[in-house]
């Protein structure tokens, strides 16, 4: 609240219910407990950053929040609506409300940038073709790619692909965005173009949960860092506290090693 | 009758008649074969276990036995089944068509045999194509709220058909040629017709050579059509740069 560059607040103002509530989610994969009783909440407009060592279950957690992977235990609530109660038939409606950005973009290879953005509008939301295309152009324009609308994914750079995938998710007007290492497949010089689009979303009030190892970026934009290890939330708190020089936190220990390793 | 006259008034018109019959067999068999291939291929790649087992059984039966045997069964074998069924259903007072439908005309037997055999092969190409699609494509579709059916029609099928196009096209070209087997169920399609002409006029070499040219023309036409389709469905930015010229 004091620093206008920090989005969201750690505590709910005026006791509003959270947009997202992850409640005691657990998941076993291949006989191993990957998520162990994970709970967290996000309020409107917040951006929280999820970090932690590889294999800690961050990607699995995002997939469970989206119900792309069904958790074994616990539940996910989006504006109070339980995902589990939606059932098989309505889970698609639940998923529409959450945007997902993948590390490796996952654009539809057989569609142009514009069609990538428009197709879910047309087929899932049943928006007429022309309106969907116009909407797609608007979203592409916001990520600075209006001039690339007719190119196919194979003709775009990594940074451009990731921006198209952000436009594709935003066109569905999600209540929440989940970002799974959106920049870790990119060359260093392409990272900033994607991060600046994400910063724009944060400034626009988008609620986001983002896995990233871009500590510098995280420190500036987020109100709260969640540190995950071995399927558990080990620490969470404002970056100022967790990342403080000399803070005896797992997070600062992990991040200092991260900087050593990657030089970022 | 001069040689030229013989060909222009007897042989060529007779072959043209055969050609027409061949086309009438090939086109529906190819279209239905691809349709069955897409459905069976999808079921085998992503269906529930019971469906997969059932479809695997279908494919192994139809790929594992000679087409001649299959065709003979459809035409000469089914009437026996029909008689047996009639002896049971008849006394029960059921109408005759409830067993008579199993007695197929030569044309129906041929199209059935070719469709089912072709479908079994096509499903293999489609299945392979679906299995080669990256998991992320499905995850992305699901994350946007696509249902399973929507994912199949708008994401899986368009990509799978492109990847399977070459295999499926190959199978259609085979089909053009194995359609000649229809002659064993008394259909005088192209090959049947030329066999008859060859022995009637004692000119096997010329008649079969002409027939070969007819098939070559059919295959060239199919190749042309498949090439056109390939160009239309091509995704810019994939494959060697030269392929885009
Ligand atoms: N389908 C699966 N079957 C078995 N094990 C799996 C499966 N998917 C993930 N895992 C395991 O779950 C653990 C957590 O994986 P996850 O991808 O969630 O980690 P992560 O925190 O995202 O790691 P990274 O930072 O490397 O992306 C890993 O040990 C992984 O091997
Ligand atoms: Mg991950």
In this model, does residue A263 exceed pLDDT 70?
no
Residues of A in contact with B159 (CB under 8 A): 109-110
From the centroid of its chain, how far is CA B78? 21
Phi and psi (nearest 5°) for A101?
-115, 125
**Could you give the number of structural domains in chain A?**
2
Domain presence at residue A9: yes
Largest Cα–Cα separation, chain A = 57
A79 and A133: one domain?
A: no
Strand A20-29 and strand A73-78: the pairing is antiparallel
A166 and A179: one domain?
A: no
Atom of ligand 1 nearest to the CA of A103: 27
Supply the mean pLDDT for chain B.
92
Domain presence at residue A36: yes
A81 and A192: one domain?
A: yes
A111 and A196: one domain?
A: no
CA–CA dist A47, B239 (Å, integer): 40
A183 and A257: one domain?
A: yes
- Of chain A, the percentage scoring pLDDT greater than 70 comes to 91
Phi and psi (nearest 5°) for B229?
-60, -45
Centre of ligand 1 from the C-alpha of residue A56, in Å: 7
Centre of ligand 1 from the C-alpha of residue B177, in Å: 51
From the number of C-beta atoms within 10 Å of its C-beta (0-12, 13-18, 19+), residue B47 rates as: middle
CA–CA dist B185, B199 (Å, integer): 19
- The answer to whether the CB of A213 is under 6 A from ligand 1 is no
CA geometry: angle B191, B193, B196, nearest 5 deg: 110
Supply the mean pLDDT for chain A.
87
Phi and psi (nearest 5°) for A47?
-120, 115
Residues of A in contact with B147 (CB under 8 A): 92
Domain limit, last residue, from A122, A153, A173: A173
Q: What confidence score (pLDDT) does residue A2 get?
A: 36
The residue behind tokens 């929280």 is A48
Q: Which helix (H) or strand (E) holds A195?
A: helix A188-203
Q: Which long-range contacts (CB under 8 A, 24 or more apart) does A21-25 make?
A: A21/A76, A21/A77, A21/A80, A22/A61, A22/A64, A22/A65, A22/A74, A22/A76, A22/A77, A23/A74, A23/A75, A23/A76, A23/A77, A24/A73, A24/A74, A24/A75, A25/A61, A25/A64, A25/A65, A25/A71, A25/A73, A25/A74, A25/A75, A25/A76
Minimal CA separation from A144 to chain B, in Å: 21
Domain presence at residue A102: no
**pLDDT, average across residues B23-28:** 96
Give the residue from A203, A196, A238 showing the smallest Cα distance to A219.
A238
Phi and psi (nearest 5°) for B92?
-80, -5
Strand A47-51 and strand A73-78: the pairing is unpaired
Q: Which helix (H) or strand (E) holds A9?
A: none
Confidence band (pLDDT; 50, 70, 90) for B239? confident
pLDDT digits over B173-227, tens only? 999 999 999 999 999 999 999 999 888 888 889 889 999 999 999 999 999 999 9
CA–CA dist A182, A195 (Å, integer): 8
Atom of ligand 1 nearest to the CA of A63: 18
Confidence band (pLDDT; 50, 70, 90) for A13? low
Q: Please name the member of B144, B150, B237 whose beta carbon is closest to the beta carbon of A155.
A: B237
**Cβ–Cβ < 8 Å for B110, B22:** no
Q: What confidence score (pLDDT) does residue B1 get?
A: 63
Q: What confidence score (pLDDT) does residue A1 get?
A: 37
pLDDT digits over A57-84, tens only? 999 999 999 999 999 999 999 998 999 9
Q: Please name the member of B137, B140, B145 whose beta carbon is closest to the beta carbon of A96.
A: B145
In this model, does residue A15 exceed pLDDT 80?
no
Provide residues of B within 8 Å CB-CB of chain A: 134, 136-137, 139-147, 150, 154-155, 158-159, 162, 235-238
Confidence band (pLDDT; 50, 70, 90) for B8? confident
Q: How many of the other CB atoms lie within 10 Å of CB of A53?
A: 15
Residues of A in contact with B154 (CB under 8 A): 119, 123
CB-based contact A169 B235, cutoff 8 Å = no
What is the domain range of residue A112?
A: 107-173
Q: Please name the member of B137, B142, B238 whose beta carbon is closest to the beta carbon of A95.
A: B142
- Of chain A, the percentage scoring pLDDT greater than 90 comes to 66
Q: What confidence score (pLDDT) does residue A253 get?
A: 74
Q: What confidence score (pLDDT) does residue A264 get?
A: 47
Confidence band (pLDDT; 50, 70, 90) for A139? very high
- The sign of the torsion formed by the CA atoms of B10, B11, B16, B19 equals positive
Q: How many of the other CB atoms lie within 10 Å of CB of A249?
A: 18
CATH for A68: 3.40.50.300
A166 and A130: one domain?
A: yes
Q: What confidence score (pLDDT) does residue B173 get?
A: 96
- The answer to whether the CB of A59 is under 6 A from ligand 1 is yes
Q: At what angle do helices A158-171 and A129-142 cross, to 10 degrees?
A: 130
Residues of A in contact with B140 (CB under 8 A): 100, 102, 106-108, 165
A62 and A80: one domain?
A: yes
Minimal CA separation from A22 to chain B, in Å: 17
Q: What confidence score (pLDDT) does residue B223 get?
A: 96
**Cβ–Cβ < 8 Å for A257, A51:** no
Protein residue with its CA nearest to atom 27 in ligand 1: A54
A129 and A207: one domain?
A: no
Q: What confidence score (pLDDT) does residue A3 get?
A: 42
Domain limit, last residue, from A121, A140, A173: A173
CA–CA dist A20, A18 (Å, integer): 5
Close Cβ partners of A171 (under 8 Å, ≥ 6 residues apart): A117, A118, A120, A121, A135, A136, A139
**Cβ–Cβ < 8 Å for A44, A78:** no
- The answer to whether the CB of A134 is under 6 A from ligand 1 is no
A126 and A74: one domain?
A: no
In this model, does residue B82 exceed pLDDT 70?
yes
**Cβ–Cβ < 8 Å for A57, A213:** no
- The answer to whether the CB of A17 is under 6 A from ligand 1 is no
Structure-derived torsion over alpha carbons of residues A8, A11, A16, A17, reported in degrees to the nearest 10: 100
DSSP symbol at B7: I
In DSSP terms, B239 is beta-bridged to: none
- The answer to whether the CB of A71 is under 6 A from ligand 1 is no
A121 and A34: one domain?
A: no
Close Cβ partners of A122 (under 8 Å, ≥ 6 residues apart): A128, A129, A132
Close Cβ partners of B46 (under 8 Å, ≥ 6 residues apart): B130, B152, B156
Domains, in order of start, for chain B: 3-233 (1.10.3720.10)
Confidence band (pLDDT; 50, 70, 90) for A260? low
A189 and A70: one domain?
A: yes
How large is the ipTM? 0.87
Phi and psi (nearest 5°) for B188?
-95, 65
A80 and A116: one domain?
A: no
CA–CA dist A91, B137 (Å, integer): 18
């Amino acid at each position: 609240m004091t620093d206008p560059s920090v989005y969201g607040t750690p505590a709910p103002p005026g006791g509003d219910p959270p947009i997202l509530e992850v409640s005691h989610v657990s998941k076993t994969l291949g006989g191993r407990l990957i998520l162990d009783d994970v709970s967290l909440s996000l309020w409107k407009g917040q951006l929280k950053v999820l970090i932690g060592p590889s294999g800690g279950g961050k990607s699995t957690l995002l997939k469970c929040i989206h119900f792309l992977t069904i958790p074994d235990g616990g539940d996910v609530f989006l504006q109070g609506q339980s995902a589990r109660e939606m059932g098989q038939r309505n889970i698609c409606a639940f998923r529409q409300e959450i945007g997902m950005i993948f590390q490796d973009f996952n654009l539809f290879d057989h569609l142009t940038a514009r069609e990538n953005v428009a197709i879910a509008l047309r087929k899932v939301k049943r928006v007429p073709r022309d309106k969907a295309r116009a909407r797609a152009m608007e979203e592409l324009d916001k990520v600075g790619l209006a001039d690339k609308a007719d190119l196919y994914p194979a003709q775009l750079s990594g940074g451009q692909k990731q921006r198209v995938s952000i436009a594709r998710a935003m066109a569905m007007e999600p209540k929440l965005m989940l970002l799974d290492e959106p920049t870790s497949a990119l060359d260093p010089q392409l990272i900033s173009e994607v991060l600046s689009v994400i910063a724009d979303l944060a400034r626009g009030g988008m609620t986001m949960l983002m896995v990233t190892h871009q500590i510098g970026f995280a420190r500036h934009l987020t109100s709260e860092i969640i540190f995950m290890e071995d399927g558990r939330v080990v620490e969470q708190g404002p970056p100022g506290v967790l990342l403080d020089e000399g803070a005896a936190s797992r997070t600062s220990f992990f991040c200092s090693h991260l900087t050593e390793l990657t030089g970022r | 009758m001069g040689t030229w006259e013989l060909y222009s008034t007897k042989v060529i018109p007779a072959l043209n008649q055969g050609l027409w019959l061949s086309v009438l067999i090939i086109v529906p068999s190819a279209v239905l074969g691809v349709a069955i291939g897409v459905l069976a291929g999808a079921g085998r790649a992503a269906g529930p276990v019971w469906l997969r087992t059932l479809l695997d059984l279908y494919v192994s039966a139809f790929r594992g036995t000679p087409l001649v045997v299959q065709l003979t069964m459809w035409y000469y074998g089914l009437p026996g089944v029909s008689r047996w069924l009639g002896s049971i259903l008849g006394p029960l007072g059921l109408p005759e068509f409830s067993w008579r439908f199993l007695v197929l005309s030569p044309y129906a037997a041929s199209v059935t045999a070719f469709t089912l055999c072709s479908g079994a092969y096509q499903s293999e190409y489609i299945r392979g194509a679906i299995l080669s699609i990256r998991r992320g494509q499905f995850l992305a579709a699901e994350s946007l709220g696509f249902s399973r059916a929507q994912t199949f029609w708008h994401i899986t099928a368009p990509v799978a058909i492109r990847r399977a196009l070459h295999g499926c096209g190959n199978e259609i070209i085979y089909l053009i040629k194995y359609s000649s087997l229809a002659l064993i169920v008394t259909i005088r399609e192209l090959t049947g017709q030329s066999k008859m002409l060859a022995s009637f006029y004692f000119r096997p070499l010329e008649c079969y050579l002409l027939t070969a040219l007819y098939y070559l023309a059919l295959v060239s036409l199919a190749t042309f059509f498949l090439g056109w389709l390939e160009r239309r469905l091509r995704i810019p930015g994939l494959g060697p740069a030269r392929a885009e010229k």
